[in-house]
Amino acid sequence: MDSPADRDRALFHEILVKYASSATQHEALAESLANLTKIDAQIDELLATRDLERARVAVLKHATSALRQFPAEILLQIFSLAKDDADSIFGPANPHHQTVIRLASVCVQWRHTANAAAELWGGKITLPATKTSSSYVTLTKKILRRSSPHPLHIVLRGEYYSPPINPDIVKAVLAVADRWQKIKIDFDIRPWLKGVLPPRDKLEAVTIDLSSSSPGPMFSMFLPAPRLTDLNVTVRACSPDLMRMLSQCAGLRKLELSLELWTADDLPLRSMLMTLACLEELDLSFSGLDKPAATAAPFFASFVFPKLHKVQVSFYDEDAEDEHGDFDDTFVQFLRRCPAVASLYIGRSSMDDITLDRILFSVPALESLTLFLCWECIGHLFFHRLTYRPADPAPFLPRLRSINLSFIGGYPLKDAKTMILSRWWSDAELARLSVTPPVERLHTVCIAVTEDGHENRLPEKLFNRLSGEGLEIWVC
C-alpha cells in the first residue's frame, strides 16, 4: 500500500503531465480554488445544520426530562420543602429567602414558578436597616412585593456602633404595614413615622425599643391593631401615653415591659383601674434602681388582669449592679386582683421574709415559684409556712409543685428538709393512702448557691432515695 507521501508525489507528477503548459495550469488552479470555495460553503452549511440539530436535541431532552414534566404544584412543593429545610439550619439571616433566590436562578421555568408563588417569599425576614447598598434596597423591595398578599414577620435591626439608618429600608418596611403579622424593631423608629400608615389588621406581635429621647408619636406605628396579642416594649419611663396605649390593647395575652422605676413625684397613682381581660403572661424588667425612693407602685396600682397566669418581675440596672428592687403593698394588692396566677418569678429583690410571706399569701393558686438573687427573704418563716401538716384544714399553697431558689442567703437546711418531706410521697406511699393529700406532690425542688458560698447538702442517702422515687431535686 502506497504511503501518503508516495500518493502526493504521484498526484504532483500527474498534474504536471496533464497540465504541461502554463495556460492550462492557471485554468486548473482557478477551477480548484472555485471547487474549494464551494466545499467550504457546504461545510459551513453542514456545521450550521449540525448546531441547529444539537440545540433541538438539548431542548427536546429538557422537555422530555422527568423534572420538566413535573406539574407546577409539585415543583412548588419541592421548593417549599427546600425553603423549610433552610429555616431549620443555623446560618446567616434569611436562609429561606437565599434558597428561594437560588432556585429561581436555575432556569426560566423555575424562575416563573418561584416568582409566582407568594408563599415562598413570606415568613420571617431580617433586615439590617443600616445597609446602604442600592442593590440590597432593591432586593428588599422585590421580596416584600413578591410575598404579597401573605402576612410578614419582619425583624428590622439597627446595628450598634454602625452607620446611620438607611431611610429607604425603613420606608419599604413601613409601606407594607398592612401585612405585618410580627414586627421587631430594635431601634427608635419614631423619626421616620411620617404620614398615616396602612391599617394593621393582621398585626399580632410587636417588639420595639423606644428608650431613646427621639421626638414623635410613641405608639402610632402599631395602634390600632385589633389582633395584637403579644407586646414587648422598652421605654425610658412608664408615661401616661404608655398607660393609654396599654388600655387600648384589649386582646393582649403576653406583655413584656422594660422600663425605669418611678420616684415618688414622677406619676400619681391612678384613681381608676384598667383591666386587660385576656392577659395571661406578664414580664416586667425594672431599671433606675439608683433613683431616690425608686418604686414600681404606679404600675401595680393601675391594672387588673383577671386571667393572668404567669408573672415575672426583675430588677436590674447595669449602672447600679449592687442595687436590688423592693415591693410595697401595691404589689400585694395587685396579685390579689389576679386570682389565676400560677407561676411567679422574682429576680434581684431586696424584699425581706415578711414581704415575701405576704406576696405568697396573695397567690393561692401558685404552682411554680422561682426566686433569683433574693438574699434577704428565705429563712425559717418561708419553709415553716410551706410545710404541710395533715391537721391543717387549709394548707398553704396547696397546688405548689415547683420551687427554684437560686443565689439566696443562708437558710436553715433542717427546715428545708422538713418542708420537702412533708410534700413528698412515693407512688407506693400514695397508693396506700386512703385519702388523697390536699396538697400537690412536689415535682421539682432546687435550692442552690447561698450568699457565702457555703453548701447545705441533704444527706446522700436521703437525696438518693428522693431522686430514685422521682423527685427532681437539687439542694446545696
What's the pLDDT at 247? 81
Cβ pair 190, 222 in contact under 8 A:
no
What's the pLDDT at 423? 97
The 10 Å Cβ neighbour count of residue 87 is 13
Burial of 397 (0-12, 13-18, 19+ CB in 10 A): buried
Whole-model pTM: value is 0.78
Cβ pair 442, 423 in contact under 8 A:
yes
What's the pLDDT at 196? 72
**Nearest CA-CA partner of 345 in 373, 324, 381:** 373
Placement of cell 429555616 in the chain: 87
What's the pLDDT at 118? 72
**Nearest CA-CA partner of 166 in 156, 154, 179, 176:** 156
Burial of 151 (0-12, 13-18, 19+ CB in 10 A): middle
The CA-atom distances, in angstroms, between 175 and each of 172, 180, 211, 218, 427 are 5, 10, 24, 19, 60
260 strand-pairing partners: 237, 287
Cα dihedral value 387, 389, 392, 396, nearest 10: 20
Cα separation, 471 vs 443, whole angstroms? 6
Cβ pair 300, 270 in contact under 8 A:
no
Cα separation, 411 vs 447, whole angstroms? 10
Cα separation, 419 vs 438, whole angstroms? 15
Handedness of CA 460, 465, 468, 469 (dihedral sign): negative
Rg (CA), the chain: 39
**Nearest CA-CA partner of 100 in 88, 117, 89:** 117
What's the half-sphere exposure (Cβ side, CA atoms, 13 Å) at 268?
3
What's the pLDDT at 86? 44
What's the pLDDT at 268? 54
Q: What is the pLDDT along the chain (476 residues), one digit of tens a residue?
A: 667 777 777 777 777 777 767 777 778 888 888 888 999 899 999 999 999 999 888 878 776 666 666 677 777 777 777 665 544 333 455 655 677 777 777 777 777 777 777 777 777 888 888 888 888 888 888 888 888 888 889 988 886 656 688 889 999 999 888 889 999 998 878 778 777 777 788 899 999 887 765 555 566 667 778 899 999 988 876 667 777 788 888 899 999 999 888 876 665 555 678 899 999 999 999 988 777 777 888 889 889 999 999 999 999 866 655 667 788 899 999 999 999 999 999 999 989 999 999 999 999 999 999 999 998 899 999 999 999 999 888 999 999 999 999 988 778 889 999 999 999 999 999 999 999 999 999 999 999 865 555 556 788 899 999 999 999 998 87
Residue 1, amino acid: M
Burial of 462 (0-12, 13-18, 19+ CB in 10 A): middle
